[in-house]
Amino acid sequence: MLVYTVKRLGLSVAIILVATAVLFVMVFAIPGDPVSVALGPRASPSVVEAFRERMGLDQPLPIQMLRFYGNLLTGNLGHDVLSGRSVATMVLEQLPYSLTLIAGAMVWSVALGVPLGCYAAMRRGSAVDSIVGVLSVGTIAIPSFVVAIYLLLIFAIGLGWLPAIGAGRSGEFGDQLVHLILPSLAVGLGWVGYLARMVRSTMLEVMGESHIRMAHAFGLPPRLVIFKYALRIAILPTLTLLGLGIGQMLSGTVFAEIVFARPGVGQLVYDAVSVRNYPVVTGAVLVTTAFYVLATLAADLLVASLDPRIRTSLRQ
Amino acid sequence: MTRAFEPASANSAVAHAGRPRRRRPDWLRHLMADRLGMFGLVLVALVVIGAVFADVLTSYDPIRMSPRDRFAAPGLDHLMGTDNLGRDLFTRVLHGGRIALTVAMAATAASLALGVSLGLVAGYGPRWLDNALILLFDALRSFPTVMLALALVTLIGPSLAAVILVVVLSGAPSYGRIVRTQVISLKRAEFVLAERSMGAGTARILFVHLLPNVIGPILILASMDIPVVITIEAGMSFLGLGVPPPTPSWGNILNDGFSFIRESIWPVIAGGVPIIVATLGFTFLGEALRDTFDPRIRKDM
Amino acid sequence: MASGPILEIDGLSVGYATMRGPMRALRDVSMTVPRGGMVGIVGESGCGKSTLMNAILGLMPANGRIAGGRILFDGRDLVGLDAATMRRLRGDRLSVVFQDPMTALNPVHTIGAQMVDIQYRLTGSRAAKRARAAAMLAKVRMPDPRHHLDQYAHEFSGGMRQRICIAMALMAEPDLLICDEPTTALDATLEVQMLDLLRDLQREIGCAVIFISHHLGLIAELCAQVVVMYAGQVVERGSVRDIFHRPAHPYTRRLLDCDPARIRERAEVLPTIPGDVPDLVELPPGCIFSPRCPVAEGRCHTTVPPDVAVADGHHARCLLARPGEGAA
Q: Write the pLDDT tens digit of every residue in C164-216.
A: 998 898 888 899 999 988 887 778 788 888 888 888 989 898 899 999 988 88
pLDDT at A104: 92
Cα–Cα distance between A236 and A122 in angstroms, integer? 18
Q: Write the pLDDT tens digit of every residue in B34-46.
A: 788 888 899 888 8
Task: Judge whether residue B190 has pLDDT over 60.
Answer: yes
Task: Judge whether residue A158 has pLDDT over 80.
Answer: no
Task: Judge whether residue C246 has pLDDT over 80.
Answer: yes
Task: Quote the percentage of chain B above a pLDDT of 70.
Answer: 87
* Pairing verdict, β C208-213 and C225-230: unpaired
Cα–Cα distance between A32 and A41 in angstroms, integer? 10
Closest chain A C-alpha to B271 CA, distance in angstroms: 9
pLDDT at B3: 36
Cα–Cα distance between A248 and A253 in angstroms, integer? 9
Are residues C312 and C296 in contact, defined by beta-carbon separation less than 8 angstroms? no
Q: How confident is the model at residue A40 (pLDDT cuts 50, 70, 90)?
A: low
Tell me the one-letter amino acid at B47: V
Average pLDDT rounded to a whole number, residues C42-50: 84
Q: Which residues have CB under 8 Å from C129's CB, separation 6+?
A: C115, C116, C119, C122
Task: Judge whether residue B268 has pLDDT over 80.
Answer: yes
Task: Judge whether residue B11 has pLDDT over 50.
Answer: no
pTM for the full predicted model: 0.79
Closest chain A C-alpha to C141 CA, distance in angstroms: 22
Domain borders along chain C are: 7-100+180-317
Alpha-carbon torsion (B103, B106, B109, B111), positive or negative: negative
Higher pLDDT, A116 or B298: A116
Q: How confident is the model at residue B108 (pLDDT cuts 50, 70, 90)?
A: very high
pLDDT at A38: 61
Which among B8, B14, B18 has CB closest to C63? B8
pLDDT at A31: 54
pLDDT at C279: 76
pLDDT at C39: 93
Degrees to nearest 5, angle at CA B56 with B52 and B62: 80
pLDDT at A29: 64
Cβ pair A289:B147 closer than 8 A: yes
**Residues of A contacting chain C (CB within 8 angstroms):** 125, 209-211, 213-222, 224, 228-229, 232-233, 306-309, 312
| CA-atom Rg of chain A in angstroms | 24
What are the φ and ψ backbone dihedral angles of C12, each rounded to 5 degrees? -75, 130
Q: Does C108 lie at the interface with A, CB-CB under 8 angstroms?
A: yes
Choosing among A126, A139, A149, A267, which should be mutated to test the B contact, i.e. which has the most B CBs within 10 A?
Answer: A149
pLDDT at C40: 92
Q: Which CATH architecture has domain A106-263?
A: Orthogonal Bundle (1.10)
Higher pLDDT, A112 or A244: A112
Q: Where are the alpha helices (DSSP H) in chain B?
A: 9-17, 23-33, 35-52, 54-57, 89-124, 127-141, 145-156, 160-186, 190-197, 202-204, 211-238, 250-259, 266-293
Closest CA to C278 of C297, C292, C295: C292
DSSP 8-state code for residue B74: S
Q: Which fold has domain C7-100+180-317?
A: Rossmann fold (3.40.50)
Task: Quote the percentage of chain A above a pLDDT of 90.
Answer: 5
Task: Quote the percentage of chain C above a pLDDT of 90.
Answer: 15
DSSP structure string for C136-159 = HHHHTT-SSHHHHTTS-GGGS-HH
| Number of C-beta neighbours around residue C107 at 10 A | 17
DSSP 8-state code for residue A86: B
Q: Does C59 lie at the interface with A, CB-CB under 8 angstroms?
A: yes
Q: How confident is the model at residue A12 (pLDDT cuts 50, 70, 90)?
A: confident
Q: Which residue of B has its CA nearest to A253?
A: B146
For the domain B26-297, what is the CATH code? Answer: 1.10.3720.10
Q: Does C91 lie at the interface with A, CB-CB under 8 angstroms?
A: yes
pLDDT at C267: 46
Q: Write the pLDDT tens digit of every residue in C123-133.
A: 888 899 999 89
Contacts of A21 in chain B (CB under 8 A): 139
Q: How confident is the model at residue C265 (pLDDT cuts 50, 70, 90)?
A: very low
Question: So what's the ipTM on this one?
Answer: 0.82
Domain borders along chain A are: 1-76+277-316, 106-263
Q: Does C279 lie at the interface with B, CB-CB under 8 angstroms?
A: yes
What are the φ and ψ backbone dihedral angles of C49, each rounded to 5 degrees? -60, -50
Closest CA to C235 of C70, C14, C27, C64: C27
Task: Judge whether residue B2 has pLDDT over 50.
Answer: no
Cβ pair C18:B15 closer than 8 A: yes
What are the φ and ψ backbone dihedral angles of B189, each rounded to 5 degrees? -65, 155
Q: Considering only A211-225, C73-87, C313-327, which range has the smallest mean pLDDT?
A: C313-327
